Chains A and B, each alone.
Chain A
Amino acid sequence: MAAMENKEIKVREKQEVAPPAEQTRPGIYFTPSVDIFETEKEITLLADMPGVTAEDLVIDLRDNTLTLEGDIASAGDSKEEPIYEEYNTGRFFRQFSLSEMIDQSKIDAQLNDGVLRLSLPKVEKATPRKITVRAS
């Protein structure tokens, strides 16, 4: 834990990706950095999507494919002149294929400070039920 505290963040440039389909609106796409982990009950996904608001985030799960797409509002107004530009902004897009069966009705998504936290509960397996035989 002490080593963790002294660690410095390394710069990682945003990864641009090809758009998912031909675009009608110009713009570039980036792939968000994610953490994915699972417990016995659920799979959790955390994604860094700075600048994305809840209204502009689309989460879609169909045929075991999870799609995340986030749009951002452009920063600043047109009167601003760039002096120094180290990163670009654009929409975020990433897809995952899920091997587990997910209980669609219990999916929970939260977006706080530009980080998405998505809980994907696994379908509960039929719990074995003991059947007692009544004696007549």
Chain B
Amino acid sequence: MIYRSMFGLPTWRVQSPFDEFDRIRRQMDRLSEAFSGGRPGQATAGVFPLVNLTEDQENYYVRAELPGLKADELDIQVTANSLSLSGERKIAEEGNGVKYHRREREGGRFSRMLTLPGDIDAEKVEADLVNGVLAIKIAKAEAAKPKQISVRQ
């Protein structure tokens, strides 16, 4: 459980009864939202940047909105089952003569660690930063991919 509070991502590697409750609760939430026409729940880890994590059979996909960031201002590192995102968002100074009406855009450093639900192939990670949206495609490790088991007759 310490694991979860540290990284903010549900870790399903350790199967404790509580994890199972959590999983069921999450599925119930998703189900009720599906009926009410709502969107999947938004529980955030409270760390910039906010990310969306999806998967298909082969890969995990991590997406984050980082408007104004250049590729070389972002540092991405992966290990067996975690991903670290860090960098600095710079808001350029606009000179002395300007008077601000609104200042909502924030700059600063960020650093975030994500734990992925399964092992990954650290050699097969692709990251794209297009129009301020970061998309990282991470191949699952062979052992973590779902396998079809054929039943012998």
Q: Spell out A's residues near B (CB within 8 Å).
A: 4-14, 28, 33-40, 43-44, 46, 48-53, 75-76, 79-88, 111-115
How many angstroms from the CA of A120 to the CA of B100 in the assembled complex?
14
Known: A36-B102, A38-B101. A84 touches B52 (CB 8 A): yes
Q: Is the CB of A88 within 8 A of B42?
A: yes
A33 cross-chain contacts in B, Cβ below 8 A: 104-106
Q: Chain A's nearest CB lies how many Å from the CB of B52?
A: 5
By Cβ-Cβ distance, the 7 closest A-B pairs, closest first, are: A114-B132, A50-B132, A114-B67, A50-B65, A80-B54, A7-B108, A86-B50
Contact with A along B91-132 (1 / 0, CB 8 A): 100110111111111111111000001000000000001011
16 further A-B contacts with Cβ under 8 Å, apart from A34-B104, A35-B102, A114-B133, are A9-B49, A10-B108, A12-B106, A14-B65, A35-B105, A37-B100, A37-B103, A48-B105, A50-B132, A51-B131, A79-B56, A80-B54, A83-B54, A87-B42, A87-B44, A113-B69
How many angstroms from the CA of A76 to the CA of B131 in the assembled complex?
15
Q: Is the CB of A85 within 8 A of B52?
A: yes
Q: Spell out B's residues near A (CB within 8 Å).
A: 9-10, 39-56, 60-61, 63, 65-70, 88-89, 91, 94-95, 97-111, 117, 129, 131-133, 135
How many angstroms from the CA of A124 to the CA of B15 in the assembled complex?
69
Q: Is the CB of A8 within 8 A of B108?
A: yes
Q: Is the CB of B67 within 8 A of A4?
A: no
B107 cross-chain contacts in A, Cβ below 8 A: 4, 7, 9
Q: Which of A5, A46, A52 contacts B105 (CB 8 A)?
A: A46
Q: Is the CB of A115 within 8 A of B67?
A: yes
Q: Is the CB of B103 within 8 A of A115?
A: no
Q: Chain A's nearest CB lies how many Å from the CB of B15?
A: 16
Q: Is the CB of B101 within 8 A of A51?
A: no
